[in-house]
Amino acid sequence: MDLLNENENLIIFLCKREGLNLEEFLAKQNLSKRLFRRLYRQKNIYVNGEFVRKDINLLKGDRVAIYMENEEDDTRPEAMDLDILYEDYDMLVLNKPANMVVHPTKSHQTNTLSNGIAHYFKENNIKRKVRFVNRLDMDTTGVLIVAKNPFAHQQLALQFAANSVTRKYLTLVDGIVEKDEGLIDLPIGRKEEGSIRKVIDQNGQRALTRYIVRERFQNASLLDVEIYTGRSHQIRVHLNSIGHPIIGDSLYNTKSSYIKRQALHSYYLAVKKVREDKELKFTAPFPADISSLIDLFRS
Protein backbone atom coordinates (compact mmCIF):
# COMPACT_ATOMS: atom_id res chain seq x y z
CA MET A 1 0.00 0.00 0.00
CA ASP A 2 1.54 3.29 -1.12
CA LEU A 3 0.23 6.17 0.97
CA LEU A 4 1.42 9.72 0.67
CA ASN A 5 0.30 11.63 3.73
CA GLU A 6 -0.74 11.72 7.35
CA ASN A 7 -4.12 13.39 7.72
CA GLU A 8 -6.94 12.64 10.12
CA ASN A 9 -9.68 12.61 7.49
CA LEU A 10 -7.86 12.15 4.18
CA ILE A 11 -6.08 8.99 3.06
CA ILE A 12 -4.13 9.25 -0.19
CA PHE A 13 -2.86 6.38 -2.34
CA LEU A 14 -0.30 6.56 -5.14
CA CYS A 15 -1.10 4.67 -8.34
CA LYS A 16 2.10 2.93 -9.47
CA ARG A 17 0.85 1.23 -12.64
CA GLU A 18 -1.74 1.74 -15.35
CA GLY A 19 -4.58 -0.54 -16.41
CA LEU A 20 -6.92 -0.41 -13.43
CA ASN A 21 -10.03 1.67 -13.05
CA LEU A 22 -10.82 3.52 -9.84
CA GLU A 23 -12.92 0.76 -8.31
CA GLU A 24 -10.40 -1.96 -9.20
CA PHE A 25 -7.50 0.10 -7.83
CA LEU A 26 -9.16 0.66 -4.46
CA ALA A 27 -10.11 -3.01 -4.28
CA LYS A 28 -6.37 -3.72 -4.58
CA GLN A 29 -5.90 -1.51 -1.51
CA ASN A 30 -8.31 -3.85 0.32
CA LEU A 31 -11.08 -1.29 0.39
CA SER A 32 -14.29 -3.28 0.74
CA LYS A 33 -17.02 -2.97 -1.87
CA ARG A 34 -19.42 -1.78 0.81
CA LEU A 35 -17.13 1.03 1.96
CA PHE A 36 -16.33 1.93 -1.66
CA ARG A 37 -20.03 2.27 -2.49
CA ARG A 38 -20.63 4.44 0.56
CA LEU A 39 -17.68 6.75 -0.13
CA TYR A 40 -18.52 6.97 -3.82
CA ARG A 41 -22.15 7.77 -3.08
CA GLN A 42 -20.99 10.54 -0.73
CA LYS A 43 -18.57 11.78 -3.45
CA ASN A 44 -15.68 11.28 -1.03
CA ILE A 45 -13.30 9.62 -3.49
CA TYR A 46 -11.01 11.81 -5.58
CA VAL A 47 -8.41 11.37 -8.31
CA ASN A 48 -5.85 14.19 -8.37
CA GLY A 49 -8.26 16.32 -6.33
CA GLU A 50 -11.36 15.75 -8.47
CA PHE A 51 -14.37 13.47 -8.15
CA VAL A 52 -14.45 11.18 -11.21
CA ARG A 53 -16.43 8.22 -12.52
CA LYS A 54 -15.57 4.91 -10.88
CA ASP A 55 -14.86 3.24 -14.24
CA ILE A 56 -12.18 5.75 -15.23
CA ASN A 57 -8.79 4.17 -15.97
CA LEU A 58 -6.00 5.44 -13.75
CA LEU A 59 -2.58 6.52 -14.92
CA LYS A 60 0.74 5.88 -13.25
CA GLY A 61 1.39 8.66 -10.74
CA ASP A 62 -2.29 9.43 -10.11
CA ARG A 63 -3.18 10.26 -6.53
CA VAL A 64 -6.34 8.63 -5.28
CA ALA A 65 -7.82 10.04 -2.08
CA ILE A 66 -10.61 8.83 0.17
CA TYR A 67 -12.15 11.24 2.62
CA MET A 68 -13.47 10.04 5.98
CA GLU A 69 -16.25 12.34 7.10
CA ASN A 70 -16.60 13.30 10.76
CA GLU A 71 -18.97 11.05 12.70
CA GLU A 72 -21.24 11.19 15.71
CA ASP A 73 -21.38 8.40 18.27
CA ASP A 74 -24.56 7.89 20.28
CA THR A 75 -22.72 6.12 23.14
CA ARG A 76 -23.29 7.97 26.41
CA PRO A 77 -19.95 9.57 27.40
CA GLU A 78 -18.65 8.87 30.91
CA ALA A 79 -15.46 10.27 32.40
CA MET A 80 -13.04 7.52 33.42
CA ASP A 81 -9.31 6.97 33.59
CA LEU A 82 -8.11 5.25 30.43
CA ASP A 83 -4.74 3.52 30.31
CA ILE A 84 -3.71 4.54 26.79
CA LEU A 85 -0.75 2.64 25.34
CA TYR A 86 -0.70 4.25 21.88
CA GLU A 87 -2.69 6.57 19.64
CA ASP A 88 -2.51 7.86 16.06
CA TYR A 89 -5.05 9.00 13.45
CA ASP A 90 -6.27 5.45 12.91
CA MET A 91 -6.18 3.63 16.22
CA LEU A 92 -6.38 3.95 19.96
CA VAL A 93 -4.70 1.17 21.95
CA LEU A 94 -5.70 0.64 25.57
CA ASN A 95 -4.79 -1.52 28.53
CA LYS A 96 -8.24 -2.76 29.52
CA PRO A 97 -8.90 -3.02 33.27
CA ALA A 98 -10.58 -5.95 35.00
CA ASN A 99 -14.31 -6.22 35.69
CA MET A 100 -15.32 -3.92 32.85
CA VAL A 101 -17.59 -4.70 29.91
CA VAL A 102 -16.21 -3.51 26.57
CA HIS A 103 -19.43 -2.17 25.02
CA PRO A 104 -22.96 -1.47 26.30
CA THR A 105 -25.38 -4.39 26.58
CA LYS A 106 -28.92 -4.71 27.92
CA SER A 107 -27.52 -5.39 31.38
CA HIS A 108 -24.58 -2.97 31.16
CA GLN A 109 -25.68 0.38 29.72
CA THR A 110 -23.13 2.41 31.69
CA ASN A 111 -19.60 2.08 33.03
CA THR A 112 -18.42 0.24 29.93
CA LEU A 113 -15.17 0.92 28.14
CA SER A 114 -17.19 2.35 25.24
CA ASN A 115 -18.63 5.00 27.56
CA GLY A 116 -15.14 6.01 28.64
CA ILE A 117 -13.79 6.14 25.09
CA ALA A 118 -16.81 8.19 23.95
CA HIS A 119 -15.97 10.73 26.67
CA TYR A 120 -12.29 10.76 25.66
CA PHE A 121 -13.24 11.34 22.02
CA LYS A 122 -15.59 14.17 22.99
CA GLU A 123 -13.04 15.88 25.24
CA ASN A 124 -10.36 15.70 22.55
CA ASN A 125 -12.65 16.72 19.66
CA ILE A 126 -12.22 13.34 17.98
CA LYS A 127 -15.35 13.06 15.88
CA ARG A 128 -15.39 9.30 15.48
CA LYS A 129 -17.48 6.30 16.39
CA VAL A 130 -16.08 3.74 18.82
CA ARG A 131 -15.08 0.67 16.80
CA PHE A 132 -13.43 -2.23 18.65
CA VAL A 133 -11.11 -4.33 16.54
CA ASN A 134 -10.53 -7.09 19.09
CA ARG A 135 -12.57 -8.05 22.13
CA LEU A 136 -11.70 -9.12 25.65
CA ASP A 137 -14.09 -10.72 28.11
CA MET A 138 -15.33 -8.60 31.00
CA ASP A 139 -12.85 -10.20 33.44
CA THR A 140 -9.87 -10.35 31.06
CA THR A 141 -7.34 -7.51 31.14
CA GLY A 142 -4.82 -6.24 28.61
CA VAL A 143 -4.26 -4.86 25.13
CA LEU A 144 -7.36 -3.70 23.29
CA ILE A 145 -7.47 -1.88 19.93
CA VAL A 146 -10.06 0.68 18.86
CA ALA A 147 -10.21 1.81 15.21
CA LYS A 148 -10.85 5.53 14.68
CA ASN A 149 -12.33 5.40 11.17
CA PRO A 150 -14.06 2.85 8.90
CA PHE A 151 -10.99 2.29 6.72
CA ALA A 152 -8.76 1.61 9.73
CA HIS A 153 -11.33 -0.77 11.20
CA GLN A 154 -11.48 -2.70 7.96
CA GLN A 155 -7.70 -2.86 7.52
CA LEU A 156 -7.07 -4.01 11.09
CA ALA A 157 -9.92 -6.54 10.93
CA LEU A 158 -8.31 -8.03 7.82
CA GLN A 159 -5.09 -8.58 9.78
CA PHE A 160 -6.98 -10.41 12.51
CA ALA A 161 -8.93 -12.46 9.96
CA ALA A 162 -5.67 -13.49 8.27
CA ASN A 163 -4.21 -14.48 11.66
CA SER A 164 -1.25 -12.19 10.99
CA VAL A 165 -1.60 -10.49 14.39
CA THR A 166 0.53 -11.79 17.26
CA ARG A 167 -1.51 -12.17 20.47
CA LYS A 168 0.04 -13.38 23.71
CA TYR A 169 -1.51 -13.89 27.12
CA LEU A 170 -0.35 -14.69 30.61
CA THR A 171 -2.51 -16.97 32.73
CA LEU A 172 -2.44 -19.00 35.94
CA VAL A 173 -4.07 -22.43 35.79
CA ASP A 174 -4.94 -25.14 38.27
CA GLY A 175 -2.54 -28.05 38.58
CA ILE A 176 0.96 -28.83 37.38
CA VAL A 177 1.22 -28.69 33.59
CA GLU A 178 3.73 -31.45 32.88
CA LYS A 179 4.69 -30.66 29.27
CA ASP A 180 6.94 -27.61 28.92
CA GLU A 181 4.94 -26.53 25.90
CA GLY A 182 2.11 -27.74 23.75
CA LEU A 183 -0.24 -26.95 20.87
CA ILE A 184 -3.98 -27.39 21.38
CA ASP A 185 -5.80 -27.92 18.08
CA LEU A 186 -9.42 -28.55 19.02
CA PRO A 187 -12.60 -27.12 17.43
CA ILE A 188 -14.87 -24.98 19.59
CA GLY A 189 -18.64 -24.72 19.46
CA ARG A 190 -21.50 -23.50 21.62
CA LYS A 191 -22.67 -25.88 24.35
CA GLU A 192 -26.33 -25.25 23.60
CA GLU A 193 -28.55 -22.59 22.07
CA GLY A 194 -28.71 -19.51 24.27
CA SER A 195 -25.74 -20.54 26.43
CA ILE A 196 -22.58 -18.44 26.64
CA ARG A 197 -20.56 -21.49 27.62
CA LYS A 198 -18.44 -23.00 24.84
CA VAL A 199 -17.24 -26.59 24.50
CA ILE A 200 -14.96 -28.73 22.38
CA ASP A 201 -17.15 -29.72 19.44
CA GLN A 202 -16.01 -31.62 16.35
CA ASN A 203 -18.60 -29.65 14.36
CA GLY A 204 -17.34 -26.35 15.73
CA GLN A 205 -14.78 -23.89 14.40
CA ARG A 206 -11.12 -24.79 14.33
CA ALA A 207 -9.10 -23.18 17.12
CA LEU A 208 -5.33 -23.19 17.70
CA THR A 209 -3.67 -22.33 21.00
CA ARG A 210 0.01 -22.71 21.94
CA TYR A 211 1.21 -22.61 25.53
CA ILE A 212 4.61 -22.49 27.22
CA VAL A 213 5.08 -23.13 30.94
CA ARG A 214 6.80 -20.13 32.50
CA GLU A 215 6.77 -21.37 36.06
CA ARG A 216 5.37 -24.23 38.15
CA PHE A 217 4.10 -23.89 41.70
CA GLN A 218 2.81 -26.39 44.23
CA ASN A 219 -0.66 -26.76 42.75
CA ALA A 220 -0.67 -24.27 39.86
CA SER A 221 1.21 -23.28 36.71
CA LEU A 222 2.00 -19.95 35.08
CA LEU A 223 1.54 -20.16 31.32
CA ASP A 224 2.48 -17.97 28.37
CA VAL A 225 -0.25 -18.50 25.77
CA GLU A 226 -0.41 -17.49 22.11
CA ILE A 227 -3.56 -17.84 20.04
CA TYR A 228 -3.57 -18.28 16.26
CA THR A 229 -7.36 -18.03 15.93
CA GLY A 230 -9.80 -15.76 17.74
CA ARG A 231 -12.67 -17.92 18.94
CA SER A 232 -14.83 -16.74 21.80
CA HIS A 233 -13.49 -18.05 25.15
CA GLN A 234 -10.77 -19.89 23.21
CA ILE A 235 -8.05 -19.93 25.87
CA ARG A 236 -10.49 -20.69 28.66
CA VAL A 237 -12.07 -23.61 26.79
CA HIS A 238 -8.79 -25.07 25.51
CA LEU A 239 -6.99 -25.01 28.87
CA ASN A 240 -10.03 -26.50 30.57
CA SER A 241 -10.08 -29.26 27.95
CA ILE A 242 -6.58 -30.43 28.93
CA GLY A 243 -7.47 -30.49 32.61
CA HIS A 244 -5.95 -27.16 33.61
CA PRO A 245 -8.72 -24.55 33.85
CA ILE A 246 -7.84 -20.95 34.56
CA ILE A 247 -7.83 -20.02 38.23
CA GLY A 248 -10.81 -17.85 39.17
CA ASP A 249 -12.78 -18.67 36.01
CA SER A 250 -16.28 -19.12 37.41
CA LEU A 251 -17.67 -20.31 34.05
CA TYR A 252 -15.19 -23.10 33.30
CA ASN A 253 -13.73 -23.62 36.77
CA THR A 254 -14.74 -22.46 40.26
CA LYS A 255 -14.43 -19.11 41.99
CA SER A 256 -11.16 -18.47 43.80
CA SER A 257 -10.66 -16.97 47.24
CA TYR A 258 -7.40 -15.40 46.00
CA ILE A 259 -8.55 -13.51 42.91
CA LYS A 260 -11.99 -12.14 42.01
CA ARG A 261 -11.83 -12.97 38.30
CA GLN A 262 -10.20 -15.33 35.83
CA ALA A 263 -6.42 -14.93 35.97
CA LEU A 264 -6.02 -14.08 32.29
CA HIS A 265 -4.15 -11.06 30.89
CA SER A 266 -3.46 -10.06 27.26
CA TYR A 267 0.07 -8.73 27.74
CA TYR A 268 1.34 -8.52 24.13
CA LEU A 269 -0.14 -7.67 20.74
CA ALA A 270 1.61 -6.84 17.47
CA VAL A 271 -0.13 -5.42 14.38
CA LYS A 272 0.87 -3.47 11.31
CA LYS A 273 0.11 0.24 11.10
CA VAL A 274 -2.84 1.11 8.91
CA ARG A 275 -1.03 3.59 6.67
CA GLU A 276 2.44 2.11 6.39
CA ASP A 277 4.20 -1.23 6.36
CA LYS A 278 5.46 -0.99 9.92
CA GLU A 279 4.81 -3.35 12.80
CA LEU A 280 3.66 -1.91 16.09
CA LYS A 281 4.22 -3.91 19.27
CA PHE A 282 2.19 -3.24 22.40
CA THR A 283 2.76 -4.59 25.88
CA ALA A 284 0.53 -4.19 28.91
CA PRO A 285 2.07 -4.62 32.37
CA PHE A 286 0.69 -7.39 34.55
CA PRO A 287 -2.22 -6.17 36.68
CA ALA A 288 -1.84 -6.01 40.44
CA ASP A 289 -4.20 -8.90 41.20
CA ILE A 290 -2.34 -11.36 38.97
CA SER A 291 1.06 -10.16 40.22
CA SER A 292 -0.14 -10.66 43.82
CA LEU A 293 -1.40 -14.14 42.98
CA ILE A 294 1.99 -15.09 41.50
CA ASP A 295 3.77 -13.77 44.61
CA LEU A 296 1.39 -15.79 46.79
CA PHE A 297 2.16 -19.02 44.92
CA ARG A 298 5.90 -18.33 45.11
CA SER A 299 5.87 -17.77 48.87
Count of Cβ atoms closer than 10 Å to residue 197 Cβ: 12
CATH code where residue 124 lies: 3.30.2350.10
38-62, pLDDT tens digit by residue? 999 999 999 999 999 999 899 999 9
- Please write the tens of the pLDDT for every residue from 248-261: 999 999 999 999 99
pLDDT band, residue 69 (cuts 50/70/90): very high
Catalytic residues: 137
For residue 77, being part of any structural domain is answered with: no
- Per the structure, the complete domain to which residue 123 belongs is given by 84-162
Contact between residue 129 and residue 71 where contact means Cβ atoms under 8 Å apart: yes
Q: Provide mean pLDDT across the span 220-243.
A: 96
Mean pLDDT of the chain: 93
- Please give the model's pTM, rounded to 2 decimal places: 0.90
CATH code for the domain of 52: 3.10.290.10
pLDDT at 6: 57
**74 located within any domain:** no
Residues 183, 288 within the same domain: yes
| Confidence category of residue 199, pLDDT binned at 50, 70, 90 | very high
109-114: Cβ within 8 A, 24+ apart: 109/76, 110/76, 110/78, 111/78, 111/80, 113/144, 114/75
Q: What is the pLDDT of residue 5?
A: 55
